């Protein structure tokens, strides 16, 4: 059996080798946004692999920089050994990459940080 630690949810679950990461999360009541229902077509199920190795491929939904930082798509990932995952909060993932013309980045970040609490 393989252990998947969802660090962001402070929850560790056990699964079988080769199971799909998105399905593991769903089966354990951990929300990962996936409007395409796991068809690798929207990129919303992006999570960060903190420890361990998985069977996955880089897709057009993950930038080179993100890939180097450990970001993967949960729907396109099979678990092959013990791993640790960080699931971005829904607020965080919806704000990712958002630009507001003429905005004050520092002030926007402060507002965003307060909203996360």
Is 16 a member of any domain? yes
Sheet with 71-73, edge to edge strand ranges: 11-15, 2-6, 83-86, 46-51, 71-73
Asked if the structure places residue 93 within a domain, the reply is no
DSSP state of 47: E
- pLDDT reading at 109 higher than 80: no
Give a yes or no: residue 109 inside a domain: no
What pLDDT digit, counting tens, does each position of 77-101 carry? 999 999 999 998 764 444 444 444 4
Do residues 75 and 42 lie in contact, with contact meaning Cβ atoms separated by under 8 Å?
no
CATH code (residue 69):
3.10.20.30
pLDDT for residue 88: 87
Which H, E and C letters describe 49-73, residue by residue? Answer: EEECCEEECCCCCCCHHHHHHCEEE
Q: What percent of the chain has pLDDT over 70?
A: 76
The arithmetic mean of pLDDT across residues 92-116, rounded, is: 55
Question: Distance of CA 77 to CAs 48, 93, 105, 115, Å?
Answer: 12, 19, 34, 30
- Is residue 37 over pLDDT 60? yes
**Structural domain harbouring 53:** 2-88
Asked if residue 106 has pLDDT above 70, the reply is no
Q: What's the pTM value of the predicted model, to 2 decimals?
A: 0.76
């Amino acid at each position: 059996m393989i252990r998947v630690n969802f660090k962001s949810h402070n929850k560790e679950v056990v699964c079988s080798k080769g199971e799909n990461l998105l399905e593991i999360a769903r089966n354990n009541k951990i929300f990962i946004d996936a409007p395409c229902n796991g068809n690798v077509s929207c990129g919303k199920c992006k999570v960060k692999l903190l420890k361990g190795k998985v069977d996955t491929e880089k897709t057009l939904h993950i930038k080179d920089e993100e890939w180097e930082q450990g970001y993967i798509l949960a729907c396109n990932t099979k678990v092959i050994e013990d791993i640790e995952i960080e699931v971005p909060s829904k607020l965080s993932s919806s704000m990712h990459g958002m630009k507001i013309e003429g905005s004050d980045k520092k002030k926007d970040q402060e507002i965003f940080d307060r909203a996360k609490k």
